[in-house]
Amino acid sequence: MRDLIRKLPKVELHLHLDGSLRGRTVLELAENRGLELPTYSLEELMEYLQVNDNCNSLAEYLEKFELPLKIMQTKEALTRVTYELIEDAALENIKYLEIRFAPLLSTEKLNAEEVMKAVLAGIEQGESDYDLQANLILCCMRHQDPSKSIEVAQLAIEYLDQGVVGLDLAGDEANFPPEEHEEAFKLATEAGLHRTVHAGEVAGAESVKKAIDYLNAERIGHGIRSNEDKETLETVKESGVTLEVCPTSNLHTNVITNLVQHPIREYYELGIPVTVSTDNRTVSDLTLSQEYLLLYEKLGFSLTDIWNLISSGIKASFITKEEKEKLIVNFKDEFKNITDYSL
């Protein structure tokens, strides 16, 4: 099953660039710039980039982004890490990928335009070398002044036809409610830019409802605490909002204490659209194939269930109806060839 899942065509919609850097790349880029690292041993460096089983909170999890963000301050670094993420995804047969990152966090030496062009250059190189389509989602950060979110929204709109498909709100969910950033998402909606919002991870169901009511979210990043309130759960179901579920990440941030407790099965059986992602490949030391294998082994998802999750991801992707239909047809053919399984 491990080999079969790895071969299956897949999509990933919730994947952070700064949480998915290769350790060796961090070493090399730091050396190129003369940056001081806490260690120059690759094995020891991974302790600064990955969580372990003792991670107790989202705050502790987010500490693993500090070093990658220091690295991601040059055109060379941004292009390279983007290209390598596409390469890593292609190696496990991910065919469509939405990469998210906060462009304003890479502007120590570059302006926002330079940051965007460097990341888009990495995507262009990756798409040229691999059978994979990738797009960008730009992240507003909750802790920053709402004017910064407006700046990010305007940047996303500027690049709407050049590889950017969506706007996200990420960061400290517990202390910064989504309504503070309503104006940025209003701009995004009016411009035809798609919206996804981190919610229902460390904060409860109210955070999810606010993301839908105030920010017009089409997808919710995580959203696993939606079931804490019956009205919110009904809102999610009736609105057709897709939950971008990242089970292992939820375990690492201590939102759940055991994978068996994860509510993805409950949401799936309720008919709520759910899609599966890794969140951060490096921080969680995880591939999308491994995430699906865990669902199969720990939560009883069958091959048909896995197809339904993959299909849900295609339907929720921020691409055109025609592109979605083409992916569905191609995925069905490839799925049958790999599994000898008719859908």
Give the residue among 60, 65, 54, 59 at the shortest CA–CA distance from 257: 54
Q: What CA–CA distance (Å, rounded) separates 119 from 71?
A: 14
Give yes or no: 114 in active site. Answer: no
Q: Please say whether the beta carbons of 316 and 13 come within 8 A.
A: yes
Beta-strand relationship, 194-199 and 219-222: parallel
Give the residue among 42, 222, 17 at the shortest CA–CA distance from 123: 17
Q: What CA–CA distance (Å, rounded) separates 55 from 59?
A: 9
The total of other beta-carbon atoms located within 10 Å of residue 206's CB is: 16
The total of other beta-carbon atoms located within 10 Å of residue 160's CB is: 15
Q: Which of 12, 98, 173, 201 is catalytic?
A: 201
Q: Please say whether the beta carbons of 200 and 221 come within 8 A.
A: no
Give the residue among 181, 164, 163, 91 at the shortest CA–CA distance from 132: 91
What is the amino acid identity at position 142? R
Query: Annotated catalytic sites, by residue?
Result: 201
